[in-house]
A and B are shown apart, each in its own frame.
Chain A
Amino acid sequence: SQTIHQWPATLVQPVGSPLSLECTVEGTSNPNLYWYRQAAGRGLQLLFYSVGIGQISSEVPQNLSASRPQDRQFILSSKKLLLSDSGFYLCAWSGYATGAKGTKNIQYFGAGTRLSVL
């Protein structure tokens, strides 16, 4: 079965410090990978997605960047954090699952990283 690992679970960083969040997926190959951010009490905002190694699509211009150095590894980075970067960061993967009724696309989330920028 597929699993997604995301760490750390919580992070407190000062303004202006760098950031690196890592996400890895097991049990699947060539997944689509996603980074979302959820501000307190708000919906999910798609930040980046990747359909393959080195292929990154940015949804929202911002202080963050993403990289995919390996097939099942997705990294979210920042050179200098802003107060507005605080939030709940979620990595997700999507792929196809084959069952009795055919092959369907599904998407699952990691446990998330709660980032507080002070």
Chain B
Amino acid sequence: QKEVEQNSGPLSVPEGAIASLNCTYSDRGSQSFFWYRQYSGKSPELIMSIYSNGDKEDGRFTAQLNKASQYVSLLIRDSQPSDSATYLCAVLGFQKLVFGTGTRLLVSP
């Protein structure tokens, strides 16, 4: 079992819809969770971090964490074509972040 798992996609949504990205992790002791956005040919950009169970909202982005079920999700409301990118889930282990392989999101106009 991979430490951090994501569906590779692509996830296709129309403009204005809600995009839902999911991630599961194997280390029950993990305490910090991150979502990065990576445009093609660019380096990953941190967009959300979450540390406690529940929801954390920042603009159009909502991160959700459920430690009992070991999953973390990212919701993007009112999706825009500029949101088209690969979204990487990362979980903080001992001294290092462990990344999933990413989910590619395509938002069509």
A residues at B contact (CB < 8 Å)? 32, 34, 42-44, 46, 49, 51, 57, 88, 90, 94, 104-112, 114
Contact = CB atoms under 8 A, between A and B. Distances in A.
Given A105-B32, A107-B34, A90 B43 contact: yes
A106 B49 contact: yes
A94 B32 contact: no
Contacts of B88: 43-44
Contact of A51 (B95, B99, B102): B95
Contacts of B11: none
Contacts of A94: 97
Interface range on chain B (Cβ under 8 Å from partner)? 20 to 34
B34 to A, nearest CB: 7
Nearest to A114: B41
A54 to B, nearest CB: 16
A82 to B, nearest CB: 23
A105 B31 CA distance: 10
